[in-house]
Structure 1
Amino acid sequence: MSWKEVVQKDVCSSGGEDKLQYFPPHDVNENGVPMIRPPKEFLVASQKAWSNSLVGYFLGSNFPFKLVEEEAKRQWLHLGFVKLYVVKKGFFIFKFNSELERNQILAGGPWHFKRNQIFLQPWYEGKKLEKSGFSKLPIWIKIHDIPCSYWNTKGLSYVASGIGDPLQLDPITAKLEPLPYAKILVEAKASTTLSPVVDIAVFDSNGNTESIL
């Protein structure tokens, strides 16, 4: 009897339903490293199971799993929070019931756990989890006195691009109805001081371009 047969026998006797299978590597690269290339259907289905998740991290000291879990439950349990995972030291994956609930959490930020801001981003496969040496941060900004002609998706994108890379509008701003300010999530360079104002171009009554700060 092989080791494989021994292990499978133990699994069956313990009531396990799923069995591990052997899938030959697709190939090996020039360095002799096995290349794992499952079918597209497997990748799509497996990644979909995590599409309702957010990746979060804190700046500075690492936070204990228990503390983060308790704060997540306290603030988000009624908002669809399901479970917390740690896949790398200092990085937490928050799983939610649906993509809508995940987006509501993202739009409702910034969030603070014990007075420390937690930086959240949508989870996607292949995201490099690297806190040290990070170059960009997701930040919610408020931009006041935006001209009515800019209250559309493209216009708000132009305005927010003066601060960083636009990622998302909060639910109220997303209605695209003129308000005293727009709340937009942008990804900005961590090493750059954010400008307190942006210079927006509009046409005056004579059709000439003028600036509004």
Structure 2
Amino acid sequence: MNGDRSNEVTTKEGEDQNQKPSELGAETENQKEAMQISTVSENVDIAKTNVDNDKNGTDNRKTYASMVINDYGLDNKLCQIPTRINEDGSEFVIFDDEIVSEGCKKWELTACGYFVGYKMYIMELNYHLFRMWGKFGLKSIMDIGNGRFVFKFSNEQGLNTVIENGVWIVNNKAMVVQKWDASVDLNKVEPDVLPLWVKFVNLPLEAWTTKGLSSIASRLGKQVMMDSMTTKMCSQRVGRLGYARVLVEVDAKKGIPDHVDIMYCDKMG
């Protein structure tokens, strides 16, 4: 059969050379028409198959939900959890210990923070914090959208180091940082007072006393305490002379000055 079909084609091509242009055109149109009929026939068969599948309940088309599960291996199904109604008739959603514990576990190594009187964009914050906190195991920064940010860490030691500082100066702007837990309100409420660890440099030797540092710290706000190294230097004259580090509660609206002026006077004033 293959040999007969080959001869037939060869003969046809030989005959085509002697045909008139009009006859060639007619045959070409006939070929196009036959191809269109064949294509329509195939489409009809395909459409018929789809309809039959729908009728038989064997439609294999994927839903969006099934595609998400298959592509990412995630279970997107929810479960029905009963609500409660109090004496006033108000309906409440219940978060029991199991729900809270499961939710908190995923955010164990997390801190949250916000700027006081300033809005910093996430790109700027990423640039500065990964330079400052990268050594502490900072993994990611997420913008909650109300002026607060969430910071995830890779280890507890690094997280605690950041938390202990309390307030960080990021690009000359004060940012309050605290460890996250279920009791933390993520709605931004700016405080009136900021607890800040402040370093005093270029101190005269006579200022290295509890009263001397208290006097300087009082210029900034309410003095709270000295760090351990500063305490040793004031009491035992042992340790670090490069700077004194004290905790001061500062008015959030005033901020802190660049320097403190000291006036010397005798007992007569």
Q: TM-score, normalised by structure 2?
A: 0.49
Distance 2:161 2:178 in 1: 12
Q: Is the Cα–Cα contact under 8 Å of residues 26 and 37 in structure 1 kept in the other structure?
A: no
Q: Is the Cα–Cα contact under 8 Å of residues 88 and 129 in structure 1 kept in the other structure?
A: no
Matched residue, 1:26:
83
Distance 1:60 1:7 in 2: 44
Matched residue, 1:179:
232
Q: Is the Cα–Cα contact under 8 Å of residues 58 and 117 in structure 1 kept in the other structure?
A: yes
Matched residue, 2:153:
96
Q: Residue type of the partner of 2:128?
A: E
Q: Residue type of the partner of 1:123?
A: W
Q: Which runs of 5+ in 1 are unaligned?
A: 147-161, 194-213
Distance 2:93 2:249 in 1: 33
Distance 2:249 2:179 in 1: 12
Q: TM-score, normalised by structure 1?
A: 0.60
Residue 135 of structure 1 and its aligned partner are, at CA, apart by: 4.1
Distance 2:195 2:230 in 1: 24
* 1:141-183 superposed Cα distances (whole Å, 9 cap, x missing partner): 679746xxxxxxxxxxxxxxx856x9xx97xx3xx99513695
Distance 1:85 1:184 in 2: 31
Shift of the 138–32 alpha-carbon distance from structure 1 to 2, 3 Å rule, reads same
* 1:89-140 superposed Cα distances (whole Å, 9 cap, x missing partner): 2111111112211111233565322211222122222322344553443332
Matched residue, 2:129:
72
Matched residue, 2:95:
37
Shift of the 18–145 alpha-carbon distance from structure 1 to 2, 3 Å rule, reads farther
2:110 aligned residue (53, 57, 64): 53
Matched residue, 1:16:
73
Distance 1:186 1:53 in 2: 26
Q: Does 1:113 align with 2:176?
A: no
Q: Residue type of the partner of 1:113?
A: V
Distance 2:90 2:186 in 1: 26
Secondary structure at the aligned position of 1:117 is classed as strand
Q: Is the Cα–Cα contact under 8 Å of residues 136 and 189 in structure 1 kept in the other structure?
A: yes
- Name whichever of 69-78 and 8-17 sits farther off: 8-17
Residue 14 of structure 1 and its aligned partner are, at CA, apart by: 3.1
Q: Residue type of the partner of 1:77?
A: G
Q: Is the Cα–Cα contact under 8 Å of residues 142 and 150 in structure 2 kept in the other structure?
A: yes
The CA RMSD over aligned residues, in Å, is: 4.0
Higher RCO (Cα < 8 Å, 6 or more apart): 1
Distance 2:82 2:209 in 1: 58
- Quick check: which one's strand share is greater? 1
- Quick check: which one's helix share is greater? 2
Distance 1:136 1:20 in 2: 46
Distance 2:93 2:192 in 1: 30
Shift of the 67–177 alpha-carbon distance from structure 1 to 2, 3 Å rule, reads closer
Residue 36 of structure 1 and its aligned partner are, at CA, apart by: 2.7
Rg larger for: 2
Residue 74 of structure 1 and its aligned partner are, at CA, apart by: 1.2
* 1:30-50 superposed Cα distances (whole Å, 9 cap, x missing partner): 353331324x23422421332
Q: Which runs of 5+ in 2 are unaligned?
A: 1-56, 201-207, 211-221, 235-243, 256-269
Residue 16 of structure 1 and its aligned partner are, at CA, apart by: 2.8
